[in-house]
């Protein structure tokens, strides 16, 4: 019975991500490429684009949630988790978000901030940030607009992409059904990777 329950758990579909964090195609590679695109340069390209930065930071937090909850993400090494946690600490420090604020709350707050910014509702964006961020000095929205230059985030995203390449090369993915394994192999080898850009 325990074996049957474990098998069912491995094949249970996780809760879908918040809509703004959805990616086409394979979710693991899609989220990886989205993080690389956002933080490969330390996030400097997102300076003056606070809505995009809010989405990128929310994605990093959400990937850490998936590492605990989604079997499709459980092939990543502990080193990758540590690197992404380091990126989270760096991003939270830049925004004045305490380390003990729960990740789901940070994700929800950042996505609410993004929605408000996209609607040109700065007051609503400030209110959303005030719910989970309390920085010293510059207000949260100003920090969000100028926080690019995050070396740990650049390292973490680069290592995350390298980990995907390693897992493909070694056929070392765990927690995937046969059809998912085949689909991921086609994504990277048959289509050259980077299919979610």
> What is the average per-residue pLDDT within 2-24?
59
Whole-number pLDDT of residue 194: 35
User: Residues 6 or more apart from 117 whose CB is under 8 A from it?
Assistant: 50, 51, 54, 125
User: Residues 6 or more apart from 175 whose CB is under 8 A from it?
Assistant: 10, 71, 72, 74, 75
Q: Look at 67-71, 79-83, 108-112 and tell me which has the smallest mean pLDDT.
A: 67-71
User: What is the pTM assigned to this prediction?
Assistant: 0.81
Quick check: 177 pLDDT over 80?
no
Beta carbons of 14 and 69 less than 8 angstroms apart: yes
User: Residues 6 or more apart from 82 whose CB is under 8 A from it?
Assistant: none
Q: What is the mean pLDDT of the chain?
A: 83
Q: Quick one: pLDDT band at residue 28, thresholds 50, 70, 90?
A: very high
* For the chain, domain boundaries: 23-170
Q: Quick one: pLDDT band at residue 192, thresholds 50, 70, 90?
A: very low
């Amino acid at each position: 019975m325990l074996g049957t329950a474990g098998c069912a758990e491995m094949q249970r579909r996780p809760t879908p991500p918040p809509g703004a964090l959805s990616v086409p195609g394979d979710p693991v590679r899609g989220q990886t490429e989205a993080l690389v695109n956002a933080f490969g340069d330390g996030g400097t390209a997102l300076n003056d684009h606070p809505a995009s930065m809010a989405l990128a930071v929310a994605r990093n937090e959400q990937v850490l949630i998936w590492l605990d909850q989604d079997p499709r993400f459980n092939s990543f090494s502990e080193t990758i988790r540590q690197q992404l946690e380091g990126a989270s600490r760096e991003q939270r420090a830049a925004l004045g978000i305490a380390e003990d604020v729960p990740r789901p709350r940070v994700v929800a707050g950042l996505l609410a901030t993004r929605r408000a910014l996209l609607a040109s509702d700065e007051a609503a964006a400030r209110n959303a940030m005030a719910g989970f961020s309390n920085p010293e000095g510059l207000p949260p929205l100003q920090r969000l607009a100028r926080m690019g230059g995050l070396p740990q985030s650049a390292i973490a995203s680069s290592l995350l992409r390298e980990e995907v390449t390693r897992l493909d090369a070694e056929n070392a993915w765990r927690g995937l059904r046969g059809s998912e394994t085949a689909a991921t192999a086609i994504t990277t080898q048959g289509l050259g990777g980077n299919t979610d850009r």
